[in-house]
Chain A
Amino acid sequence: MTNLLKGFAILLLLQFVGETIVRGADLTMPGNVVGMVLLLLLLLKGIIPIEAVEEAADLLLSHLALFFVPAGVGVMVYFDLIADQWLPISVATVLSSFVVMAVTGWVTQKMEQGEATDAE
């Protein structure tokens, strides 16, 4: 329990530091992504032991999908705009998603195989 609360405190603190950096340096990145990078660095340097955050982090990550629900429900406000141009919107969204998966996956796998043969 204490570890759970400690973990949440660390995650929120790092998000806050991330937001501060983003505002201060006028970055287009969201503060929580900067917070993720900070946490990774602190873990790698051994400044934060993994035991201090893992209980809270694993709890949040096991329900990650739930936190997107409210943003999805927001779609209902824009039914009119979507209905108006539904064809380009839906075709571009669906096709482009498959294009991205194919391109990313193929490039990564090809290069992995290339590096594996180089190493042999």
Chain B
Amino acid sequence: MLNELTATPLFGIGLTLVVYVVAQKIYIRFRSLFLNPVAVTILMIIVLLLLLEIPYGSYRKGGDMILFLLGPSVVALALPLYRKRSEINRNRWPILAGVFCGAAGSIASACGIAWVLGASREVVWSISPKSVTTPIAIGLSEQVGGVVELTAAIVVVTGCLGAICGPEFCRKIGLRSETAIGLAVGTAAHGIGTARMLEVSRLGGAVAGLAIGLNGLMTAFLLPLLFLIFG
């Protein structure tokens, strides 16, 4: 009976929402950055599924419906951009240059480090689009011969990492401008980083949302080029 019940969308949606609410309560109670609600929710659901021996395929029936909302949410990112249009327009060249260097630096450092440490070719290509938002990263990984699911996993981990310590790291290395911090977190940690930036600062959140699209565009241009040379 448990199998039948867990194989309905109700299970995946219900479990995700309940665990997310609990994770938010934990975050508010302890205020520790390491208790980032998304990271905690993901971990708790994985542990629960493993303990109860519920296959990932059952969870996915509901999970896919939640994932569906990511689509209109990305469209909605036009709003913070529109609200901050004059600040962004004034800083368009620093923004374009920053994201371009970040996109190139991401591919170079991710592939370089993985290759030096002896990762297989397949894994190196899987890591290459790691700072790009999930839907773009998956398409690119496929194009250059990576393992799509591994890419999706690395992208989410990267996002959580940026959300957990991005704004603090940026201040530690001497970044003061809200635009620079928002752009750095959005370029490195896409949507999950942007979600955190939206909590921290309005301008920072808007710029982070812009960085998702710009980094996606630039990586989609750079990575296939690199693949032609090294692939």
- Please report A residues at the B interface, Cβ cutoff 8 Å: 8, 11-12, 14-15, 18, 28-33, 35-40, 43-44, 50, 53-54, 56-58, 60-62, 64-78, 81-82, 85, 87-89, 91-112, 115
Bound: A88/B115 CA distance, A: 8
Set of chain B residues within 8 Å of A81, measured between Cβ atoms: 123, 147, 150
Set of chain B residues within 8 Å of A102, measured between Cβ atoms: 173, 184
Contact between chains at B191 and A96 (CB < 8 Å): no
Q: Does B203 make an interface contact (CB < 8 A)?
A: no
- Please report B residues at the A interface, Cβ cutoff 8 Å: 12, 16-17, 20, 37-39, 41-42, 45-46, 49-50, 56, 59-60, 63-64, 66-67, 69-83, 85, 91, 93-95, 97-99, 101-102, 105-106, 109-111, 113-115, 117-120, 123, 127, 130-131, 133-136, 139-140, 143, 147, 149-150, 152-163, 166, 169-170, 173, 175-177, 179-181, 183-185, 187-189, 191-192, 194-196, 198, 211-213, 216-217, 220, 224
Q: Given A29-B136, A74-B56, A108-B97, are A101 and B184 also a contact pair (CB < 8 Å)?
A: yes
Bound: A92/B119 CA distance, A: 10
How many A-B residue contacts, CB cutoff 8 Å? 323
Contact of B185 among A50, A85, A101 (CB under 8 A): A101
Set of chain A residues within 8 Å of B111, measured between Cβ atoms: 92
Minimum C-beta distance from A98 to chain B (A):
6
Contact between chains at B82 and A70 (CB < 8 Å): no
Q: Given A88-B123, A97-B161, are A65 and B38 also a contact pair (CB < 8 Å)?
A: yes
